[in-house]
Every structure is written in structure tokens, then in C-alpha cells.
Amino acid sequence: MPDTVIALDIGGTKVAGAVVDRQGMLLRREQVATNAAAGPYTLMATIIALATRLRDAFPGVAAIGVGSAGQIDHLTGRVIYANQHLPGWTGMEIGRRLGAALALPVAVDNDVNAMALAEVTHGAGKGRRVVIVAAVGTGIGGAIVLDGHLFRGASGVAGELGHIPLAAAGPRCVCGNRGCLESYATGPRIAAAYARAAGLERPIALPEVVTRALNGDKAAHLAFARAGERIGRALAGLVNTLNPDAIIIGGGVMAAGDLLLPPLRAALRRHSLGPACSAVVALPAALGTDAGLIGAALLARQRE
């Protein structure tokens, strides 16, 4: 199958792998637990084993593409920085280790960059020139795509939307600063905000907060409204700077899309300058949980 590649999507809780054809169709998909607590080398061994199974099932795959959580040096396939969700992952040479183990060319990039490539090629951003992609889940990641190409910035790590500062005296963020967007609007932060407002002793899972909001719980609805407003306000700064024609919102928190998107769009309109605001639409991601794999396959095509 010379027209197929292996795609891998590495996150804090799971590693997904697939064999993908040139049309972006997943011919085979597998998923394993990340088990990050076991350490980075155990995780790397798990990834190699998954990729080996996929290669053995489809002999002749041309290359491997990887989207990984963390800041990635896409030129070398090395992890520049990863937070506490992947302890010890900083410094891991994903590209070199995978390439040596499977004797295939390997392309590695940030997981949201991979998702963004997928959405502009096959999804909600298709046909659009300037696209901002935000992935809101356990954290908040981002990517910027200009005329079909990822904008990486001077040192390759452009798109850290979660660390746009909103309040100097805000909550402590995982990055060490205070008041970042990520310290307000991730899934865990939304659940925690609801628990405080509702007088619960501990947070409940985000899907339960969604259910309560849809069933008329005002505190749950307000938790999503405040998160959406903050995301919209942060993105408005980028709208005024980059004048995009689309913002695409994905990630696990988009299970609450109808609760999150209206206040996000309202804040975007309120804080964006008129000409820039009139040009942009805020859309939900179209490719769902497979976007990272489809994007990783696109990365692999660059290394065939």
C-alpha cells in the first residue's frame, strides 16, 4: 500500500494510531492508554509498538506522521517542552527514535498544528486563507494557518493561545504565570468553577456539567458562558492582529458547543474592531476526534 502512511496522535491520556490513505480516510485505527506515570521511555516503547503493529498490518507504508502534545521542534522531531500531563516528555527525540525503530521517514509536530492542517485541508477551514485554530480541552492549544501553511513564528512555537494573559492577578496557570486564558477556560477549570458556584465539595466531570446546563442549571450554564466570553475576548486580540477569515474551535470542551459558542461569538464581536470582525466567522471543528490523526498523516506526506 504505497499510498498509505502511519499517523500517531500523542496526548496526556491516550495515544491513537492509524493507517491513512491520500484522501484522509482511516483504513485502520487503534488506541492505547498513554500511562504517562510510567515514564517517558515506557511511553516511547508503547508508541513504537503501536506503530509497528500498524506497519505490519499494512506493509509498504511510506512514512510516519506524529502529532504530540507539547512544544515540538518540527525540524528535528524533538520535544522542546511538555507540561505535567506528560512528565519527563521534555527532550524526547520522537522522530529519531521512531525512525530508527521502523526504518521510515518521520515527521513530528505539535498536536494542534496537526489538527489545524487537517481542518484547513479536509474540514471546516477548507478554502479559507487565514485561519486560527483553538483546541479547548484539558489545556488550550492553538495554531495559525496562512494560505495553507502553518505559521510557526521565530522559534517554531507560535499558537500558544492558552497563555494569552487576561488578568495580571488571575489564577496561577500551569506555565507559572497568572491569569492566562488556560487558567480560566479549560474543561477542568470550567468544572471547578461550576463546583464552587454550586457549593459542591469537589468538582464533577465536565460531561455532567454539560448535562446539568442543558437541564436548566443556571450555575452550570453560567460557567460555560464565562468560559466562552473569555475565549472570545482572547481570540479578539488575534482577530485584530491577524484579520483571519475563520476561527475554528475544537477539543473536548466542544461537547458543550451550543453552550460555549454563543458567548464566545458575542465576545468576539464586542472586542474585535469592525472591519476585522466583519471578515471572520467562528466555527466548530468538523473532523472530530480523528482530526489529529488526519493532520499527522498530512505531516507524513511531507516526508515521503
Distance of CA 179 to the CA centre of its chain: 20
Task: Count Cβ atoms below 10 Å from residue 232 Cβ, excluding itself.
Answer: 27
Q: Which residues contact 114 (CB under 8 A, 6 or more apart)?
A: 9, 65, 67, 291, 292, 295, 296, 298, 299
CA distance linking residue 16 with residue 290, whole number of Å? 9
Residue 2 has pLDDT above 70, yes or no: no
Encode pLDDT of 159-170 as tens digits: 999 999 999 999
Does the pLDDT value for residue 304 go beyond 80? Answer: no
pLDDT at 239: 95
In the numeric block, which cell numbers belong to residue 94? 520522537
pLDDT tens-digit map of 217-235: 999 999 999 999 999 999 9
> How high is the pLDDT of residue 84?
84
| First and final C-alpha spacing in the chain | 13
Q: What is the pLDDT of residues 37-63, one digit of tens each?
A: 999 999 999 999 999 999 999 998 999
Mean pLDDT of 3-15: 94
% the chain with pLDDT above 70? 99
Report helix, strand or coil for 210.
helix
Q: Give the C-alpha distances (Å, rounded to integers) separating 178 from 139, 193, 242.
A: 15, 17, 25
Q: Which residue has the higher pLDDT, 13 or 134?
A: 134
pTM: 0.91
CB 104: neighbour CB atoms within 10 A?
19
For the chain, domains (ranges, CATH) are 5-114+290-301 (3.30.420.40), 126-285 (3.30.420.40)
